Amino acid sequence: MILENIFKTAQADNIHLEYSEHGQGQPVLLLHGLFGNLSNWTETIAYFAQSYRVIAPRLPIYDISFRKDVLHGLADYVHALVKHLRLKDIVLVGNSLGGHLAILYTLAHPDRVKNLVLTGSSGLFESNLGVSYPKRGNFEYISEKVRYTFYNQDVVSSQLIDDVYDAVNDLRKSIGILKAAKAANRHHVGKDLGKITTPTLLIWGKQDKVTPVGVAYQFLEALGGKIELHIIDHCGHAPMMEQPDEFNRILSQYLIRTNEEASAENQDQRQIA
């Protein structure tokens, strides 16, 4: 499946939207991280588009014109997309900075989100390599930092390294990265996690060095509502890329089970009424 050439575009709330959309059914909205893009979700899209409506926006992280701080500007972007596509009962999935954004969006619009899925999410703790600004310049330095992010080195393609190198050495993009990194470091969400009662699935890489597995347990303790944690071995900061089959299996089984439970609960309520 070729993904990079199938972006749809739209204008909503004076915001230019770019997104990929595949399949039909309950919406699954995928949010990438600081250096992420649609290719991070290739296996996820291919798998879930068979049964779900899968939307993956290209987040305008490099946009330096946000009037708000970057994270809240990105939350407005996501909401504009949600309204444009008339999405409800969303399965909101976020990796790294995208997880941080998913948390903020769920806090602001809990009525739109049916399930929250966090994988390697920032918001509580992240090493400097996760959301902070990498220094520009030496290609080998950038290559080393990219490789540090992943346990499974097979996913570290030369194209991925080139993309990160180009981003941090492009003045406009580097300013956007810096603003996003600073915003992520400022917005610690710990005090607000208890307000989230949305059923939440945590999928974490056991060897994640950016948001270590202990962070997953912090989320487990702090979040309100019904929460599940699954830890994937031989996996770093991006489970959907490093162990896509296991990531897809966990998420698919979770969605099937929670949808069945919700249907049974609704049926019980109708019988009582």
The answer to whether residues 254 and 228 touch, using CB atoms and an 8 Å cutoff, is: yes
Residue 166 burial (CB count, 10 A) = 11
> Rounded CA gap, 66 and 175, in Å?
12
Closest CA to 193 of 231, 237, 225, 228: 225
- Token pair belonging to 220: 């487990």
Instruction: Give the tokens for residue 18.
Output: 């770019």
Q: What is the pLDDT of residue 269?
A: 64
The reported pTM is: 0.91
Q: What is the pLDDT along the chain (273 residues), one digit of tens a residue?
A: 444 457 899 999 888 999 999 999 999 999 999 888 888 999 999 999 999 999 999 999 877 566 567 888 899 999 999 999 999 999 999 999 999 999 999 999 999 999 999 999 999 976 654 444 455 568 888 898 899 999 999 999 999 999 888 888 888 888 888 888 788 888 889 999 999 999 999 999 999 999 999 999 999 999 988 999 999 999 999 999 999 999 999 999 999 999 888 777 766 666 665
Residue identified by tokens 């619009």 is: 109
What are the b/e assignments for 56-81, b being 16+ CB within 10 Å? bbbbbbbbbebeebbbbbbbbbbbbb
> Any idea how long the chain is?
273
State the Cα torsion 30-36-39-45 to the nearest 10°. Answer: -10
| Pair 214, 126: CB distance under 8 Å | no
The per-residue pLDDT for 116 is 98
Q: Is 266 exposed, middle or buried (0-12, 13-18, 19+ CB in 10 A)?
A: exposed
- Paired with 93 in beta bridges are 30, 117
pLDDT for the residue numbered 129: 41
